[in-house]
């Protein structure tokens, strides 16, 4: 720094410099101080030695320019901001689609293989309770009593027609439920296809997707949901007591009494 100061001390005053202004005001030459020496770069010294004219504006710009590079990182460019936004959007969308896809798979399996069976068994059990008493009475009746009962029932009921209608109802119910079953898996396929399409786009555009977090997070959530659903159905819905056979029989007697005048 001392050598540089000695060198600058012998340099003529540069027009427009801070040193020149102060020297002019005080009517005397003031050697450049060390605090001002940053304005006297090697390029400026060379200009002064070669008597190259420099405007006051140029020197002021030079004096205000820092000598060390900026340590503050440059602001992100618009392109980087768009890439960051795109990455966040793809990650959020893929997480949502993967979660919904897993839920749709779980709900389809859980309903058609567990809930529907519970419902069918519940109805059959209720009807079975209603018929158990009648069947046990018929099993212990005599042949004569059965013949009389058949003659009376044949006036109102046709067993052949009832069986045929039951078979037709079963076939229609099966077709309807199979259609619903296929529809549920079409939904699953649509969600899976959309997820696969967005995954392909993300790979093609080289978007960074947090696959490990995406998969593990959703698998844990669906596992928790499955455990809750199974526990809820097993401890609340399945033990729930629906209308009993005795209540159905009572209601039937009420109908016969009110509409037909029977069982009075």
d(CA 247, CA 25): 115
b/e code 106-144 from CB counts within 10 Å (16+ = b): bbbebbbeeeeeeeeeeeeebeeebeeeeeeeeeeeeee
What's residue 46's pLDDT? 62
pTM: 0.59
240 sits in the region (left: phi over 0; alpha: psi -120 to 50; else beta) called: beta
What's residue 86's pLDDT? 85
Selection from 53, 56, 46 nearest residue 19 by Cα? 56
What's residue 219's pLDDT? 93
What's residue 25's pLDDT? 52
Sequence ranges of the domains in the chain: 2-64, 79-260
Crossing angle (nearest 10°) for helices 159-204 and 78-110: 160
- Mark the ranges of the chain whose per-residue pLDDT is less than 70: 1-78
What's residue 14's pLDDT? 54
What's residue 22's pLDDT? 53
What's residue 38's pLDDT? 47
d(CA 196, CA 93): 12
- Give, in degrees to the nearest 5, the angle at Cα 230 between 227 and 234: 140
């Amino acid at each position: 720094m001392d050598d540089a100061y000695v060198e600058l001390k012998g340099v003529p005053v540069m027009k427009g410099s801070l040193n020149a202004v102060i020297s002019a005001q005080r009517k005397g030459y003031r050697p450049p101080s060390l605090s001002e020496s940053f304005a006297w770069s090697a390029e400026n010294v060379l200009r002064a030695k070669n008597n190259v004219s420099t405007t006051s504006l140029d020197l002021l710009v030079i004096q205000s320019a820092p000598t060390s590079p900026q340590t503050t990182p440059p602001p992100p460019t618009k392109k980087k901001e768009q890439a960051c936004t795109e990455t966040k959007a793809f990650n959020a969308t893929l997480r949502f689609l993967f979660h919904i896809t897993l839920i749709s798979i779980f709900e389809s399996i859980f309903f058609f293989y567990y809930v529907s069976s519970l419902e069918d068994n519940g109805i059959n059990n209720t009807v079975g309770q209603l018929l158990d008493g009648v069947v046990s009475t018929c099993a212990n009746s005599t042949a004569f009593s059965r013949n009389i009962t058949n003659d009376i029932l044949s006036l109102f009921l046709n067993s052949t027609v009832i069986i045929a209608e039951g078979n037709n109802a079963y076939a229609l119910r099966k077709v309807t439920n199979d259609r619903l079953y296929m529809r549920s898996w079409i939904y699953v396929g649509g969600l899976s296809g959309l997820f696969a399409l967005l995954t392909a786009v993300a790979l093609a555009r080289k978007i960074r997707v947090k696959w490990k977090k995406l998969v593990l997070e959703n698998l844990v959530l669906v596992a928790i949901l499955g455990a809750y659903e199974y526990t809820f159905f097993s401890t609340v819905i399945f033990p729930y007591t629906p209308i009993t056979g005795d209540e159905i029989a009572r209601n039937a007697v009420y109908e016969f009494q009110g509409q037909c005048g029977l069982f009075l």
